Every structure is written in C-alpha cells, then in structure tokens.
Amino acid sequence: MQDTAAAAPSAILDYVTSCTLPTPWAQFTLHAFVEHGTGKEHLAMTLGDLAGAPPLARIHSECLTGDVMFSQRCDCGAQLEGALKRIADEGRGILLYLRQEGRGIGLVNKIRAYRLQEAGADTVEANLQLGFHADARNYELVLPMLQRFGVEAVRLMTNNPRKIAALEKLGIRVAERVPLLVNRNAFNNGYLDTKQAKLGHMMTPLAEPALDGEL
C-alpha cells in the first residue's frame, strides 16, 4: 500500500483511512476523507509515486446515474473509466471523487432537472428553473486532499476551463490540460453541446503539433 505521510489537519475535512482497491486496470490505493460541514465522504484514488513531476490527475464529481447506472445522458461514467485507464497506463496519478452530484444540486434535484430536460429545457436552463446555479460545484476540498499527497501541480484531465481556474485560484498549478473526450452518443449530444455553448467546455481535440515543413 502506498505510504501517505501525515499532513497538517485541514480546516474543512479529515483524512480517515486507506485501503487497496483492485480494478480492471490497476491496483489503486483508495483514501477516505470526511467533510466537516456536511459529513459527506469524499475519496481519492492514487497509483504510483506522486512525487516529482506533476502527476496525471482527474477531479471527478459524483454522478450516480452515469458512474454506476451506465446512463448515456452524460459522459460522466465514461470519463471516470477513461481517467482511471489513463492513470493505469501511465503507472502513476490521482483521481479525486467529490460527492457533489448533479453539478452540486443533489441526486433528487438532478432527476427533477432531467424531467425538465425531457420537456425541452437544456441542462443549464433546467438547473436555473429549479432555482440553482448552472454549475453549483465547489472545489475548495481539492487543496487539502492534494496536500495530503504532497501534490502541488497536476496534469489535469478535463474539458472544463472553470475547473482549471478553480484549481489555479487555490494555488494548484495546472501544468497541462489533458482532454477527456469520450462517449458522445445520440442521447448526450445536446448535453455536450450545451456544455460547450453555455459553460465554455472545450469539446474539440487539441491540435496535433505540426511536423517540420508543414504549414
């Protein structure tokens, strides 16, 4: 099991314990944290030695319908699997699993939002109609969780510029953005298009560097 040196106590959450977690791609170490204000349990999955060069990282918000129930209405489950596969392929990295379902509005309200979407609203409009922000997630927990492992900079797997800005505001350097474009399908086209049009998500692959002599 990976050695996790003791870190200073956090004002917003406590580290509790760790165990090994075998997956189809690698044997990770699973770490449990409890948030003071809400009692929510958040997780980190680590692989390899995180010291040195910025590790591959994913900040993943809980999506029960996508992560567990294989919903095709979003790309969340595919992003979770894709991130773990990439970390396993690289042999080192960290995934933080934050319990902020439905962009922070909770599971039942997410299902209410789904009903509004079925009546014609897009994902942003549905959240606003329910009285919530378009994206109510908060990433302040990321800092003490990464500090637990001595991680100060990451190569972040994300398409979301707000997530990059949130980490950098916390003092976590994003050394590289790694796109995570997966599972576009007939059921989530509108969802992904809304992410791009209204939330600024970067939904196109990075351009390949030009070879010498190419324009």
60 appears as a binding residue in the annotation:
yes
76 appears as a binding residue in the annotation:
yes
Query: Residue 142 belongs to what H/E stretch?
Result: helix 142-148
49 is catalytic: no
Residue 73 CA to residue 131 CA, distance in Å, equals 22
Which is catalytic among the residues 67, 75, 135, 177?
A: 135
Which is catalytic among the residues 137, 173, 184, 212?
A: 137
61 appears as a binding residue in the annotation:
yes
Residue 3 CA to residue 17 CA, distance in Å, equals 12
Residue 148 CA to residue 31 CA, distance in Å, equals 10
63 appears as a binding residue in the annotation:
yes
* Cα angle value 16/20/23 (rounded, 5°): 125
Residue 6 phi/psi, 5-degree rounding, is -60, 140
123 appears as a binding residue in the annotation:
yes
**In 3D, which of 111, 107, 113, 108 has the Cα closest to residue 131?**
113
102 appears as a binding residue in the annotation:
yes
112 is catalytic: no
29 appears as a binding residue in the annotation:
no
19 appears as a binding residue in the annotation:
no
Binding-site residues: 58-63, 74, 76, 79, 101-103, 123, 158, 163
Catalytic center residues: 135, 137
Binding-site residues for GTP: 58-62, 79, 101-103, 123, 158, 163
